[in-house]
């Protein structure tokens, strides 16, 4: 029973050894993030930009219990991680990882965006100037 709780050896090696940048891995390694049924690919390097975030912690997970506390489900053979969240809002989150600035459409409620930022554990993101006024009274 104890062994069934541990990851298979290949996946465990990937998560513990291959993802850790200090062990000399290829930071261009990509994983699949399935958010609300929409699949996104992201490099380890990009996710490591915010190590304290939910996706940053995903990289450091080494047990199934840790993974279960970070994502809703996972397929370690495919390196695919599932999150039951709004895929449209996730595009803004992923773009924040890429650019370091948060830019949102007028179509989204700032309060809903705040809930997503809390879920993804992204504290006080830098906002593009065009978006600051839209959300300053409702966000943070």
- The whole-chain average pLDDT of the chain stands at 79
Instruction: Provide the whole-model pTM.
Output: 0.77
Give the chain's domains with CATH numbers. Answer: 1-84 (3.30.710), 86-140 (3.30.710.10)
Q: Cα(25)–Cα(35) distance, rounded to whole angstroms?
A: 26
Contact 42, 31 (CB under 8 A): yes
Q: Cα(58)–Cα(79) distance, rounded to whole angstroms?
A: 11
Q: Which residue has the tokens 């993101």?
A: 125
Segment of 12-26, 52-66, 81-95 carrying the highest mean pLDDT: 81-95
pLDDT at 4: 36
As a dihedral over the C-alpha atoms of residue 114, residue 115, residue 116, residue 117, rounded to 10 degrees, the angle is: 50
pLDDT band at 76 (very low <50, low <70, confident <90, very high): confident
pLDDT band at 38 (very low <50, low <70, confident <90, very high): very high
Average pLDDT over residues 93-110: 86
List of residues 6+ apart from 99 with CB closer than 8 A:
none
Average pLDDT over residues 37-50: 93
């Amino acid at each position: 029973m104890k062994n069934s709780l541990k990851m298979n050896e290949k996946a465990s090696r990937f998560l513990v050894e291959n993802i850790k940048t200090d062990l000399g891995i290829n930071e261009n390694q990509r994983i699949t993030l399935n958010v609300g049924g929409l699949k996104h690919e992201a490099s380890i390097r990009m996710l490591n930009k915010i190590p304290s975030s939910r996706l940053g912690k995903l990289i450091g997970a080494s047990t199934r219990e840790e993974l279960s506390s970070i994502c809703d489900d996972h397929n370690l053979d495919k390196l695919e991680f599932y999150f039951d969240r709004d895929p449209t809002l996730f595009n803004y989150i992923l773009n924040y990882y890429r650019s370091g600035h948060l830019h949102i459409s007028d179509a989204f409620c700032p309060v809903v965006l705040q809930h997503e930022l809390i879920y993804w554990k992204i504290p006080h993101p830098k906002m593009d100037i065009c978006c600051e006024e839209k959300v300053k009274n409702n966000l943070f």
